[in-house]
Homo-oligomer: A and B are copies of this chain.
């Protein structure tokens, strides 16, 4: 890992702040052109970017090439969302002398950019959650300049991505302050404390995220901190589903658990199965056939092995699939009963970042529901059930309530990995899945994290921002209270 440090963040953050008002005030069409130009520039560099990423992350060129496509799609999809301009949420209330609680003045409200944003890049998605990833793209879309703190896991890729982005911004004539890259933990903390930074986003570990969240909260002017921290993404298989589709479920689980060496925040680390089903054994068999895959870096591999060892040595935990070589990065499967799990839930529900699953066998779905309720917040929860079973068994509705209560995305009969970039995606959840349960870091709603409302009272037309004017020069949606 690099130990490069950006020594002076001051001019970098000041340049971002200087670009802030102008970028927030760009017309949607203009802002969309910049996002698309950055996407085009990144696509054009695929031949350099993907090999660099592969050398630094070992994720393989096929996956990385797909991830780059996803990243540039995300930029263009956000560009389209910017053009639609619904996110301004324009509300116009005319003055009304007869308003029931007393005369009201004219009020015009919209949501504008919050100001310069600091993004902490993640290691496991060197494109999609890194320099020009979802946090950066959605902050740009909201009208915010972005400073990215590079992840030390892929410094050369980060720098080449940054050069590509900056060149695209210059070529399209947008202000240079729209984007900057800084390196080093200290520089990241300095930027997070800088008064000109108005929001921050982070994807990574619970420990790292909480440290940064505390720094953001302890500033003289605290700022919103959107951290996506950790999740074990429980999956519940009902007796009916285990009977009807054991092979499909076992194959699906193993594929989701081992994809990308298990290095996904949506990795399904916890699997609840009926005690009388051979599902756990079938998963173990299939898992034995999956080869060890290289992990992102030595630090992550070491952490995987350490947490795996810690989980395996809990009393009542049994190894269903475990490599003989303790240093092997091969997939691992542990097993315990719901009774043991519930008695030791805090330790047994620790996230193991990598290809390790914990199977919990249960006798009673009501007890599973109680176990879910006691879990920390999750990005996703999943249930595999049969539709007729769901119609006849009222416990399933209670289970669904519990899953919804504890997670931001509830999946029926699928798998949590593979987070689609769409309007309806929510990639967030109760703490610690995210530090702010209303925020998502994937999908078009992600840009809403970087907006704040402002109301203009009795303001002259020619001084109003364009979204609020009666002549509506940008032709955007305006909601008028003419009821």
| A interface residues with partner B (beta carbon < 8 Å) | 21, 66, 69-70, 73-74, 91-93, 99-102, 104-105, 107-109, 111-112, 114-115, 217, 221-224, 376-377, 387, 390-391, 396-397, 400-401, 404-405, 407-414, 418, 420-426, 428, 430-432, 435-438, 440, 445, 451-460, 462-463, 479, 481
Contacts and interface: CB of A to CB of B under 8 A. Distances in A.
B101 A73 contact: yes
Given A221-B431, A460-B390, A423 B105 contact: no
Nearest to A199: B437
A453 B481 contact: no
Copy total for this chain: 2
Q: Which 8 A-B pairs have the closest CB atoms?
A: A104-B420, A426-B455, A107-B424, A91-B424, A70-B101, A109-B424, A411-B457, A93-B424
A107 B463 CA distance: 41
Given A377-B221, A397-B463, A460-B412, A102 B70 contact: yes
Contacts of A224: 436-438
A164 to B, nearest CB: 19
A469 B217 CA distance: 40
Contacts of A92: 424
Given A222-B435, A437-B224, A438-B452, A458 B108 contact: no
A193 to B, nearest CB: 14
A458 B101 contact: no
B431 A104 contact: no
Given A109-B423, A224-B436, 12 more contacts: A69-B101, A73-B100, A91-B423, A92-B424, A107-B420, A107-B425, A109-B424, A112-B404, A408-B455, A412-B463, A426-B455, A438-B451
Given A91-B423, A458-B411, A463-B390, A453 B431 contact: no
Nearest to A408: B454
A108 B481 CA distance: 28
A346 to B, nearest CB: 10
Contacts of A74: 101
A454 B452 CA distance: 22
Nearest to A222: B431
Contacts of A437: 114, 224, 452
A66 B91 CA distance: 26
12 contacts: A91-B424, A105-B414, A221-B430, A221-B431, A224-B436, A390-B463, A409-B454, A409-B456, A410-B454, A410-B456, A412-B459, A413-B458
